Amino acid sequence: MIGMTLTLDHLRRCTVAADLGAARTRVYLKQTGLIVDEPSVVAVNIKTGALIAVGTPAERMAGRTPATIKVVRPVNGGTVVDIEMAQRMLRAMVGAKLRRAWRFRPMLRAAVCVPHDADPLARRAALETMIGLGARRVELVDSLITAGVGCGLPVEEPEATMIVQVGAATTEIAVLSLGSIVAADKVAMGGETIDRALVQHLRNRHEMLLPSQAVRPLHRALTGAVPHMTEVAGRDVATGLARTVKVDPEELRAAAQPPVTGLLDAIRAVLHRCPPDLVADLADRGVMLTGGAAELPGLDVMIRDNTGMPVNIAEEPGLCAVQGLGALIEGNGRLSRRGRRAARRGRRRAAAAGAAVEPRASEAAEPTVEPLPDPLGDQPLGASLGDRGGDRLGDRLDDRLDDQLGDGEKAPL
């Protein structure tokens, strides 16, 4: 895997940034922003092989399709498991949105997030997936680094920042310092793991099958906001008929506790491998939750109660990875304010819970991601670059000129 500190110049030349998640696929286009944010689901006709739907329409078909239509998830746990289907899914999602970028940049460069310590097969799968989208060069970046940049953590400062990226199938925990990962761990726990635990509990205790769409309303009971019995509708295991049962919220919280216990053990293991000075920083700075399942009700409270550290939820936690990678290819640190706002909200929640945390003076500091140097600066295009880089055309021309100049125009000298 290519480290972040070694690829800043390469990332500056990339046009497309992608985050291939198990639940959602997100694509960021340079100088445009987020152009794709869809579920990583494909519906395909098994007889003809034709795509029926991708994204949200395909997700709605899950469990409701005839025998000739199959709903496929080509990404599992942040790793592409079906390269051909992932390529077809991306091409259908992006469509004409990248034609303009391809027309002005025939040698398209792309950057993609990969899980921490991904094996060579997983990296190769992500590489071939982006090549199938039309990229000629692909940069692989650790998703923990991009998530830290996207939520505004000072990842390049000589102080500890802890990030917990809660995905659909897996959760990654890492302590960052000086732009690198000091200690990290991964646990097979995510939003879908909690949902499966709740469904299994209802099957074993109440002999009822719950449809996948009916699990999300049960998340509210995990916070303790529902003091009374919760009514759940599903299908009886024995008779196959629809019926309704009342469930105690305490039962649901007890059913969701085993998966969360594995996450808490992983957090303690990561802290145990960190130097004492970094752990002392984390006692004040706390933990930042990112990922699509970071807003799972009650998760931040469980982590705070078991670790004694303040827990902050990033603003738009599901977009942190792709927005951080987008900030790197744009070459600016405009996303750094998001982390400070999330930290302030987390401190207010901690104070309300009786765990007051003193504010840090470093929160007033400006961007945590240094802007990448412009290869041309204020010099005209005809000026000598000297020690600014080689004489290749890619190092001499600014990427913005490709978007602004037409086929018959010339660059001013």
Q: Look at residue 249 in the predicted model and tell me its pLDDT.
A: 82
Share of the chain above pLDDT 70, in %: 74
Q: Look at residue 10 in the predicted model and tell me its pLDDT.
A: 79
Q: What residue ranges do the domains of the chain occupy? A: 4-147, 191-253
Q: Look at residue 240 in the predicted model and tell me its pLDDT.
A: 84
Q: Which of 131, 122, 142 is nearest to 76 (CA)?
A: 122
Higher pLDDT, 229 or 388: 229
Looking at CATH, the fold of the domain delimited by 191-253 is given as Actin; Chain A, domain 4 (3.90.640)
Average pLDDT, the chain: 78
Mind giving me the DSSP string for 177-245?
ETTEEEEEEEES--HHHHHHHHHHHHHHHH-EE--GGGSGGGGGGGGT---S-EEEEEEETTT--EEEE
| Tens of pLDDT, residues 166-203 | 998 899 999 999 888 999 999 988 888 888 888 898 88
| Tens of pLDDT, residues 220-229 | 777 666 667 7
Q: Region 67-82: what's the mean pLDDT? A: 91
Phi, psi of 252 (to 5 degrees): -65, -40
Higher pLDDT, 150 or 378: 150
| Tens of pLDDT, residues 184-193 | 999 988 888 8
- What pLDDT band is residue 351 in, cutting at 50, 70 and 90? low
CATH number of 4-147: 3.30.420.40
- pTM comes to 0.74
Is the per-residue pLDDT at 395 higher than 90?
Answer: no
Mapped onto helix, strand or coil, the DSSP state of residue 200 is: helix
Q: Region 65-72: what's the mean pLDDT? A: 92
